[in-house]
């Protein structure tokens, strides 16, 4: 199992999850308490009182201050202690660590690592999720599995045919070869599968209204460690984008995952589906939300099983990798580099 990649931005929550109640979430093993200040900013602190480690998320807000629920140590919105019970003097070191936070594209991003290295401009983008030209459904499912298993899963969509048959999988997905490109400088992995003439899975038939066979493009763009984009284009067979890039005949779905390790053996699996058609049609939104959640839960079930296998059978096991794994193996390599590790990847 690879170590975590630190000094990175991770999605900790949707903006809608964080309000005027204390909100606890663990990211890369670090327990963090978030809340929204009276002025509307999201702030995040180490979720442990400096006194006796009591979780501040078990405490209460007093304006923008957190009052520890055990002995009343009180912290301001910068994390500085401003009250200690039974004495006037505040110890100089009484301060909880605050985390750099950016709210963008509907997500609350948090920087895990050295504070001074955090660059808000470097937060990766998923602009569709907050773009009025798109309608988005989204959710988060807790995964009782290490994040690497979700990365593997998402970078090899051939599993759609087997694990998600009847939903998003059709035989063409598993049988169409992929192309994989790695931008080593920027650390981005691209995996593409362009099906010129494919069955239309019910998932898309119902939401686009297309009857008959389709041209189906799946263009994965994975920006390790956290952000995974699947640019999905569906059109009737033979309908391609125009020369200038305009694509009035295509239906576009931007599938976004944020893969955030919670602990070594659990992951926050954020998923969002943004579409550029049927924008006001609530029945399409409901259909996509329910179906994508079903697909995510199929993955969750399978990966939870796999985690138990891996966690309880630790001895040296040689995986057998094939062509479909090219993207996943590249991802492992880049993740290991980000985590400061070397891995040995042995393709078959």
What are the residues binding its own copies (CB under 8 A)?
31, 48, 50-55, 58, 67-72, 84-87, 91, 93-94, 152, 156, 158-159, 161-163, 174-178, 302, 305-306, 309-310, 313, 317, 319-324, 348
CB of 267 to its own copies, least distance (A): 16
Nearer to its own copies by Cβ, of 285 and 326: the residue is: 326
In the complex, the smallest distance separating the C-beta of residue 117 from its own copies, rounded to whole angstroms, is: 22
Cα 108 to Cα 266: distance, rounded to the nearest angstrom? 19
- Measured between alpha carbons, how far is 251 from 165 in angstroms, rounded to an integer? 22
Nearer to its own copies, 119 or 197 (CB): 197
Query: β-strand 8-14 against 107-112: which pairing, if any?
Result: antiparallel
Angle between helices 326-338 and 147-155 (to 10 degrees): 140
Residues 6+ apart with CB under 8 A from 153: 159, 299, 302, 303
Report, in Å, the least distance between residue 107 CB and its own copies: 26
Q: Which is nearer to its own copies, 103 or 156 (CB)?
A: 156
Burial of residue 116, with CB atoms counted within 10 A of its CB: 0-12 exposed, 13-18 middle, 19 or more buried: exposed
Query: Is the CB of 140 or the CB of 303 nearer to its own copies?
Result: 303
CA distance linking residue 45 with residue 47, whole number of Å: 6
Q: Which is nearer to its own copies, 51 or 231 (CB)?
A: 51
Is 145 strand, coil or helix?
A: coil
Q: Which is nearer to its own copies, 89 or 186 (CB)?
A: 89
- Choose among 224, 311, 23: nearest CA to 140: 23
Is-contact 274 113, C-beta < 8 A? no
**Shortest reach from residue 348's CB to its own copies, in Å:** 5
> C-beta of 34: minimal distance to its own copies in Å?
18
């Amino acid at each position: 199992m690879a170590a975590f990649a630190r000094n990175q931005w991770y999605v900790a929550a949707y903006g809608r999850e964080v309000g005027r109640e204390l909100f606890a979430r663990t990211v890369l093993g670090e327990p963090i308490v978030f809340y929204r200040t009276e002025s509307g900013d999201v702030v995040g602190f180490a979720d442990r009182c400096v006194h006796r480690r009591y979780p501040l998320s078990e405490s209460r807000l007093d304006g923008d201050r957190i009052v520890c629920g055990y002995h009343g140590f009180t912290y301001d919105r910068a994390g500085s202690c401003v009250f200690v019970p039974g004495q006037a003097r505040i110890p100089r070191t009484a301060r909880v660590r605050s985390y750099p936070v950016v709210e963008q594209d509907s997500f609350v991003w948090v920087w895990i690592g050295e504070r001074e290295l955090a660059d808000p401009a470097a937060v990766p983008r998923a602009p569709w999720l907050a773009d009025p030209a798109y309608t988005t459904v989204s959710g988060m499912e807790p995964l009782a599995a290490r994040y690497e298993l979700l990365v593997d899963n998402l970078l090899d969509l051939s599993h759609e045919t087997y694990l998600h048959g009847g939903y998003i999988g059709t035989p063409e997905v598993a049988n169409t070869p992929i192309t994989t490109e790695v931008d080593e400088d920027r650390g981005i992995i691209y995996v593409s599968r362009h099906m010129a003439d494919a069955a239309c899975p019910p998932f898309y038939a119902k939401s686009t209204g297309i009857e008959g066979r389709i041209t189906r493009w799946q263009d994965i763009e994975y920006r390790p460690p956290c952000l995974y984009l699947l640019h999905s284009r569906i059109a009737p067979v033979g309908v391609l984008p125009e020369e200038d890039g305009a694509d009035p005949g295509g239906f576009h779905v931007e599938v976004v995952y944020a893969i955030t390790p919670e602990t070594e053996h659990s992951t926050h699996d954020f998923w969002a589906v943004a579409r550029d058609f049927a924008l006001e049609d609530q029945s399409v939104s409901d259909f996509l939300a329910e179906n994508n959640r079903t697909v995510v839960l199929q993955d969750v079930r399978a990966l939870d099983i796999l985690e138990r296998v891996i966690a309880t059978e630790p001895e040296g096991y040689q995986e057998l990798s094939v062509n479909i794994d090219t993207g996943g193996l590249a991802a492992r390599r880049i993740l290991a580099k980000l985590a400061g590790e070397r891995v040995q990847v042995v393709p078959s």
